[in-house]
Structure 1
Amino acid sequence: MVFKLWTYMIVGALESLPSEMMMERLEELYISRCRALRMFLRGKSLTMLKILKIEECEKLESLPEGILMNNGDACQVSHFAELSIESCPCLKSFPTGHLPNSFKRLYVRNCKQLEFIPQRMLQYYRELEEIQLYGNNSRDDWSKYERRYIHNCYILKCSRIDKLDGLDGLELLCPFIPNLKRLTINSFKNLKSLPDKLQHLKSLDELCITQCPRIEFIPDGGLPSNLLSLKISFCLGIESIPDSGFSPNLRDLCISCCENLKSLPNKLQDLNSLDKLHIENCSGIESISDGGLHPNLTSLVIVNCLRIESISDGGLPPNLTSLVIGDCPRIESIPDDGLPPNLKYLQIRHCPSIESIPYCGSAPNLGELIIYCKNLKKPMQEWGLSSITSLLSFEICWICPPDNVLPTSLTCLVVRNVENMKSIPKGLLQNLNSL
């Protein structure tokens, strides 16, 4: 049996937990918005506790004493696995003791006065899997940690930690966290570059860099060779990415809201493993890749890139299954050699310079089609829609489909903003038996 305690704003006057509560049987304890709560009852055992989450307790000064191990204690917490503390501005320190071997995840967010994780907490411990620190005090210092404390950590998220603005601490840590799989670097206002030793993280497969406005480049040594996913957003200082910046094993590349980024690496087409390429809100980019895109690419998204004039000089990748183009006013056309045969999803929105749609009949697996282009001149009869028996959903704006151009397989039809349409053409729905 699992006992859970949920406290909300309706009990906001609560200053301590009820004395009759069976603390020794609790496995999960959630405390939220108890704005008057100052401390926990002393002497209460938490031997069965697995998860403790505390948030928005503005006056909370201390955590339960029984959540950490102390040598000589008769009652020990041997199941404790996750501690999450958020928006507790009066909390200053962790309880005495060290983490049990069962502990896996630690989240600390917006606790301005809370000390950095004391070494004593990790003294006998090697199994920490995830650490998230966000918006905490300026004394946070990763450089004090020894290898044995975080050797097995596989997720590390650092955010808004002033001491790490130069990432000196992370530079020192890189050789000592070989099992790290996911790293998020968020809101470092003074960070100009990633640490050169980042390439030592051989197990790193996901890197996310966001809201670092002064970061300018990826280290000369490149990124870890096994990196699978790279996400960069709101990094206004990045103007270019070197050809050596990407891992050859990269599968997922997402870049958004980097307004000063002018180009992507010329060797993008050499990334054999690249499966997904998403570029959004990058108004400075003029082209995706001068050498074309690799044929293995399956998902391509280009949204709100105001200067891009063409998608790819070498045509669309033949294995593409999803294509989204939106709010790109300078793109005049999609490569007109027909859609890729494996394409299942096509969306083209608000691209006023596009006057024609590629022949859709070359994509027999197309299941969903969305077209919002106001200046289309190519007649819909020439799109080849009637032959696509897999097409289930079709959404179009500013144009009413004429008779006998849609396949009978269609189950969803959306027609928007056709100013002069007074009624639905009789022949339009006559053959759409699946609607």
Structure 2
Amino acid sequence: MELGVLDMLQPPKNLKELTIHCYAGLKFSSWIRDPLFSNMVRVSLYNCTNCHLLPPVGQLPCLKELYISGMSAVEVVGPEFYGEGSLPFRVLEILKLSDMKHWEKWLPFDQDMESGVFPGLKFLSIQMCPKPGGKLPKKLNSLTTLEIVRCEELVVAIANHEQVRELKIDGCKAPVHSTTEVDLKLLETLCLSNILELRLQAGGFTKGLGKIKELTILSCQELTSSLKNEDRCFPHLISLVRLVVGDNSALVEDLGKELEGLLKVPILACKLEYLEINKCERLSKLPKGLHQLSSLQELHIWQCSRLVSFPDVGLPPSLRVLKITECDSLVYVSKYQIPRNLKKIHISWCGSLKSLVEEEELVGSSSSSFSLSLEHLEISVCPSLTSLSLRGQLYTALKHLEIFTSDQLELIAPDGFFRDNAL
């Protein structure tokens, strides 16, 4: 009955966008494949759970966006998808496939010779499709963004996508870097997370990341062991601006040792402005090499339960924002001084925190004191906090002070520390 209804709902030929949601028929109407729909630009198929085959939308001449989700009965994507005729998907730019629980095979286009299917595809996203084996289509020469999320059996050959600007691989079995020298000359954003296996030949991986600006590595233990075969990472990441490392204490320690080894050789080209470290449970102390990051503006640390203290050499002087959350073992932020140019501090849920600097009697006279640029100080749910004293540093620029659930706090600051401020 639903097929009959869909047949009678054939739209006018000038339709540009079509969405079919929760259709329960066993197959789609024949009018969907009709190339007479020459103006169709966008097609969305959602939760059509009884259809075993995708409609042959590949022959729609103006189709630029295709979204397919919840087609749980589909097992094979192949000829029926491409349609009969000339090269399919000639102008398609966006393709998103998601939540296809029984999809197992993606067959190539039989008549594909040299030009490749999807000649104009710019954005490809495949998510929550646990069974598709094999590899992605080759010759995606126009592809700029590739997202593969929770597709455990899909193998992604990194070397096949030299034109990609943004690459995200999450929860996949085996990304492959098969050549020693691949220049990912346009890649600016790379996110690797929950990688079960990583096949890298020795050397050459980080050397191809010279243009990368944003790098995220989450729960990739295999990546850590593979990078041991690489030469130093930081000298190659000359454009890196944002770095996030999560659930990988070993990688933070290795990068720290690398930075410490470069203490006598300044990283003049380092542009890193944002660093986030999260869920690194074995990390007890941040590396001294952190001070080498001379352009660092923001430092975010959360859920590092064994982190006790920051480096004795202090935080980078360029730091502007410091955010620390759920670090239960942290006792103090800095051994001696808070960076003078720091603008904002946010600390929450740190059960052992006693003070911002190591608790000692204030040293020196008021003449040796100097002003901080700190404007925003927020501390919440730190029950062991007793003092906000900063050992000779004055809160002269403070505008916002918020303290929440810090039961042991006795001293905010000695007389004179809030002198001439605009709180």
TM-score of the superposed pair, with normalisation by structure 1 = 0.73
1:257 is displaced (CA, Å) by 0.4
1:252 is displaced (CA, Å) by 1.2
Q: Show the counterpart of 2:306.
A: 284
**2:237 partner amino acid:** S
1:90 is displaced (CA, Å) by 3.2
1:19 is displaced (CA, Å) by 4.2
Mapping for residues 8-19 of structure 1, pairs under 5 Å: 8=21, 11-19=22-30
Q: Show the counterpart of 2:216.
A: 208
Q: Does 1:131 align with 2:146?
A: yes
Mapping for residues 34-433 of structure 1, pairs under 5 Å: 34-42=48-56, 45-63=59-77, 73=86, 77-91=89-103, 92-94=105-107, 96=109, 97=112, 98-119=116-137, 121-122=138-139, 125-138=140-153, 140=155, 142=157, 149-164=160-175, 169-170=176-177, 172=179, 175-189=182-196, 196-200=203-207, 201-213=209-221, 216=224, 219=228, 220-223=231-234, 224-226=236-238, 227-235=240-248, 237-238=250-251, 240-241=253-254, 242-245=256-259, 248-335=270-357, 341-358=372-389, 362-364=395-397, 366-367=399-400, 369-378=402-411, 389=422
Distance 1:386 1:27, change over 3 A: farther
User: Does the residue aligned with 1:161 lie in a helix, a strand or coil?
Assistant: coil
1:52 is displaced (CA, Å) by 0.9
CA RMSD of aligned residues (A): 3.7
1:343 is displaced (CA, Å) by 3.1
In structure 2, list runs of 5 or more residues that go unmatched: 1-13, 261-266
1:249 is displaced (CA, Å) by 2.2
1:311 is displaced (CA, Å) by 0.8
User: Does the residue aligned with 1:107 lie in a helix, a strand or coil?
Assistant: strand
Contact 1:238/1:258 (8 A) holds in 2: no
Distance 1:352 1:191, change over 3 A: farther
Deviations 1:405-430 (A, max 9, x none): xxxxxxxxxxxxxxxxxxxxxxxxxx
Q: Show the counterpart of 1:6.
A: 19
CA distance in 1, matches of 2:119, 2:65: 14
CA distance in 1, matches of 2:378, 2:200: 36
TM-score of the superposed pair, with normalisation by structure 2 = 0.75
CA distance in 1, matches of 2:284, 2:123: 39
* Identity score, percent: 20
CA distance in 2, matches of 1:309, 1:108: 44
Contact 1:68/1:100 (8 A) holds in 2: no
User: Does the residue aligned with 1:172 lie in a helix, a strand or coil?
Assistant: coil
Deviations 1:142-181 (A, max 9, x none): 27x5xxx4221122222333234xxxx2263762422222
Distance 1:316 1:112, change over 3 A: same
CA distance in 2, matches of 1:221, 1:29: 46
What is the aligned length?
375
User: Does the residue aligned with 1:373 lie in a helix, a strand or coil?
Assistant: coil
User: Does the residue aligned with 1:175 lie in a helix, a strand or coil?
Assistant: coil
**2:165 partner amino acid:** Y
**1:252 partner amino acid:** Y
1:323 is displaced (CA, Å) by 0.8
Distance 1:54 1:157, change over 3 A: same
CA distance in 2, matches of 1:228, 1:261: 23
Deviations 1:323-357 (A, max 9, x none): 11122233221248999744343211122222223
Contact 1:316/1:340 (8 A) holds in 2: no
User: Does the residue aligned with 1:274 lie in a helix, a strand or coil?
Assistant: coil
**Which 10-residue stretch deviates more, 373-382 or 261-270?**
373-382
**2:406 partner amino acid:** C
1:104 is displaced (CA, Å) by 0.8
CA distance in 2, matches of 1:100, 1:191: 27
1:274 is displaced (CA, Å) by 0.8
Distance 1:371 1:382, change over 3 A: farther
Contact 2:288/2:313 (8 A) holds in 1: yes
CA distance in 2, matches of 1:268, 1:387: 33
User: Does the residue aligned with 1:240 lie in a helix, a strand or coil?
Assistant: helix
Contact 2:59/2:82 (8 A) holds in 1: no
CA distance in 2, matches of 1:2, 1:258: 52
